[in-house]
């Protein structure tokens, strides 16, 4: 199979929906319910791998679209801005308006939270990365840091492939050093606590996968070998890493390397190169639509919108999930996609 660039890979778009659903499950699963088996709680507690899937996908798709091409930096930045920021901005505005209406006050602390939220820098500070604005929006800080630096990576990797190994290791070591060197006595701000240096391995796993697929004529596999390997590892990953081995950057980096190299990477490779039921399922029109709207779903699945649904419409988690899914599709079709296209057209070269 010759790997040819397309504007969209349906199976990977459908996978985005499942990744977002895993994060929803993580946030809404009743962990404290004694009636639920402990092994099931351990599995669901590791469903943060939905975020890891997004990171690998980001590395893959950016490389898939831009590597080996002459990149117009202005247009590249406009495209990234149009894709990420408009919906993030609108929902963040909603978060702070809702806070003011409910609490009837505003102070210096909320101003700091607003500045860090609107500038997408809150993930750099341990005190704010989960509390300011959209709590799950910390991941977008890491996404943007990767997007801004990706063109430089492509230049270096195009010259020598050894940079595929050197860059993530160097970024990890530098980030870990910077995090510890700037730590305050009580870690008040926690600079670089949730930082790209740990997750950089997942972005580079996506880069590596895209380069492999672009540079090789690959056969189309009839038996889903890689898909099966990826799924099995993702199934057992939560059980393996639910055991506590301590928490530090080196352990987290090892997890990210294992997860992206043995689980997510093979799964993506399989979905692209193998004819499987899973690939066909992720590629159907409904899953592709759900995948396209998964960014909005991710932004609104936790926060004031589900709280409003819970307070005024339904307390059932399944109903909340269905309503958020429907709202995400509507916001994608009538707000996110039109804004994205308008910004790209307005600032096209």
Token code pair at residue 322: 């269905």
3 confidence band (pLDDT: 50, 70, 90): very low
Closest of 169, 195, 170 to residue 182, by C-alpha: 195
pLDDT in tens, 236-287: 876 666 554 456 778 888 889 999 999 999 999 999 988 889 999 999 999 9
Q: What does the buried/exposed string (b/e) look like for 181-210 if buried means 16 or more CB atoms within 10 Å of the residue's CB? A: eebeeeeeebbbbbbbbbbbbbbbbbbbbb
> In the prediction, which pLDDT does 1 show?
46
Contacting residues for 342 by C-beta, under 8 A, at least 6 apart: none
> In the prediction, which pLDDT does 7 show?
54
Closest of 120, 50, 21 to residue 322, by C-alpha: 21
Closest of 229, 267, 202, 214 to residue 48, by C-alpha: 202
Closest of 45, 42, 79, 87 to residue 61, by C-alpha: 79
> The tokens 């939270």 sit on which residue?
113
Q: Quote the percentage of the chain above a pLDDT of 90.
A: 60
Mean pLDDT of 280-307: 95
Residue 218 DSSP class: P
- According to DSSP H, which parts of the chain are helical? 10-28, 38-45, 49-66, 73-103, 108-118, 138-159, 163-181, 196-215, 225-241, 249-258, 265-273, 277-283, 285-292, 294-300, 304-312, 317-331, 337-346
Q: Label each residue of 259-307 as H, E or C.
A: HHHHHHHHHHHHHHHECCHHHHHHHCHHHHHHHHCHHHHHHHCCCHHHH
Q: Quote the percentage of the chain above a pLDDT of 70.
A: 89
The Cα-based distances of 167 to 58, 135, 275, 316 in angstroms read 17, 29, 34, 46
Flag whether the pTM goes above 0.85. yes
Mean pLDDT of 62-86: 91
pLDDT in tens, 194-240: 567 889 999 999 999 999 988 666 666 678 899 999 999 988 876 66
- The residue with greater pLDDT, 5 or 300, is 300
> In the prediction, which pLDDT does 184 show?
61
């Amino acid at each position: 199979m010759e790997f040819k660039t397309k504007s969209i890979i349906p199976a990977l778009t459908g996978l985005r929906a499942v990744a977002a659903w895993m994060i929803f499950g993580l946030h809404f699963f009743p962990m404290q319910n004694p009636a639920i088996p402990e092994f099931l709680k351990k599995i669901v507690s590791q469903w943060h791998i939905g975020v890891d899937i997004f990171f690998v996908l980001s590395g893959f798709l950016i490389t898939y679209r831009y590597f080996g091409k002459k990149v117009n930096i202005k247009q590249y930045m406009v495209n990234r801005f149009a894709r990420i920021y408009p919906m993030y901005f609108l929902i963040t505005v909603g978060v702070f308006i809702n806070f003011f209406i409910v609490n009837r006050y505003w102070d210096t602390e909320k101003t700091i939270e607003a500045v860090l939220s609107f500038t997408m820098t809150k993930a750099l500070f341990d005190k704010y990365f989960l509390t300011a604005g959209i709590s799950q929006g910390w991941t977008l800080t890491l996404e943007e840091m990767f997007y801004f630096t990706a063109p430089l990576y492509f230049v270096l990797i195009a010259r020598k492939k050894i940079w595929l190994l050197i860059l993530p290791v160097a970024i990890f070591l530098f980030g870990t050093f910077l995090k510890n060197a700037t730590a305050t006595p009580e870690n008040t701000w926690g600079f670089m606590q949730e930082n790209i240096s740990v997750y950089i391995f997942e972005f580079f796993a996506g880069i590596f996968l895209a380069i492999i697929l672009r540079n090789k004529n690959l056969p189309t596999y009839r038996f889903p070998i890689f898909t099966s390997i990826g799924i099995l590892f993702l199934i057992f990953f939560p059980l393996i890493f639910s055991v506590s081995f301590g928490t530090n950057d080196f352990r987290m980096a090892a997890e990210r390397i294992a997860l992206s190299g043995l689980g997510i990477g093979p799964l993506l490779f399989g979905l692209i190169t193998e004819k499987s039921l899973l690939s066909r399922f992720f590629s159907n029109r409904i899953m592709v639509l759900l995948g396209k709207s998964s960014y909005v779903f991710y932004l609104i699945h936790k926060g004031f919108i589900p709280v409003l649904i819970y307070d005024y419409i339904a307390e059932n988690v399944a109903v909340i999930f269905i309503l958020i899914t429907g709202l995400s599709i509507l916001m994608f079709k009538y707000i996110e996609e039109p804004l994205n296209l308008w910004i790209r057209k307005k600032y096209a070269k």
